[in-house]
Amino acid sequence: MNNRAIVELDGICVNYGEVTALENVSLSVFEHDFLGVIGPNGGGKSTLLKVILGLIKPHHGSVFVFGKPPARARSRIGYVSQRSVFDRDFPASVWDVALMGRYDRAGIMRWYRGEDRAEAEKALARVGMLEHRGKQIGRLSGGQQQRVFVARALVSEPELLLLDEPTASIDSTMQSEFYELLEQLKDSLTIVMVSHDIGAVSVHVDKIACLNRELYYHGSRELTPEILEATYQCPVQLIAHGAVPHRVLKEH
């Protein structure tokens, strides 16, 4: 049974000036959970991940990760941020990017040791990108790049993996492969994934939380129209295709 709380948030409030990003958010994430967090743009999803990472300090409430303040637990967390624009001509290989995940362990002279290279090789193999180790990162497809960024997060040997919109700007075929990768990883990691893709999230994750400043979460992946409408503040229609329900937001 998953009975050890990895992340514990209690009454979290975060404000950006006069704008409220998170309001009285309480959440427990347990060992080996695969939690999907959905919600509209500006609903506080990225802020939630940054609170867990200790990058944002809440104005109210308490945060514990592995029983410690987030900043003290950061070495046990892997993080893949929203896909950002970068210079595709930058001369960094897949191997270089993966090794960056060991940077804080490389010692005073920043020399990578044999164990660092071994972990980078293992992480790239785990995400199916080892054969591309010599390729320039900017020459890969979006889906391949995301796999490399996950490898960079895995190379630090995390126990908790945070993913912020990992499939944004990836075509549907590569999205399917990426979700298959996460299915494999969830057996050995606790995963929290922020996503706009309600349909895919409802199929692949074990639990779903809805966030729009306030959190709607019942410790399962059950989504009712009432919860979705409260989150997105617009009507929601449920359409069943076989055994998999697809959730469609109606026009405002």
Can you give the pLDDT of all 252 residues of the chain as single tens digits?
Answer: 447 899 999 999 999 999 999 999 999 999 999 999 988 888 899 999 999 999 999 999 999 999 999 999 998 999 998 766 666 777 889 999 999 888 776 555 567 788 888 999 999 998 989 999 999 998 988 888 888 999 999 998 999 999 998 887 677 777 788 888 888 888 889 999 998 777 767 778 888 888 999 998 877 766 666 666 666 665 555 433 334 444 444 444
The whole-angstrom separation of Cα 98 and Cα 132 is 11
Dihedral angle over CA of 44, 47, 52, 58, nearest 10: -90
The answer to whether the CB of 117 falls within 8 A of the CB of 134 is: no
Q: Tell me, what's the pLDDT at 175?
A: 79
Which residue, 56, 26, 48, 63, is CA-closest to 195? 48
The domains located in the chain, with CATH, are: 5-249 (3.40.50.300)
DSSP 136: B
For residue 155, give both structure tokens: 């190379």
Q: How far apart, in whole angstroms, are the C-alpha atoms of residue 30 and residue 73? A: 15
Whether the CB-CB separation of 33 and 176 falls below 8 Å is answered with: no
Task: Note whether 186 and 30 are within 8 A (CB).
Answer: no
pLDDT given at position 192:
95
pLDDT of residue 201: 74
Which of 95, 115, 125, 108 lies closest to 156, judged by CA? 115
How far is the C-alpha of 8 from the C-alpha of 24, rounded, in Å? 13
* pLDDT of the residue at 242: 37
Residues written for the chain: 252
pLDDT of residue 105: 63
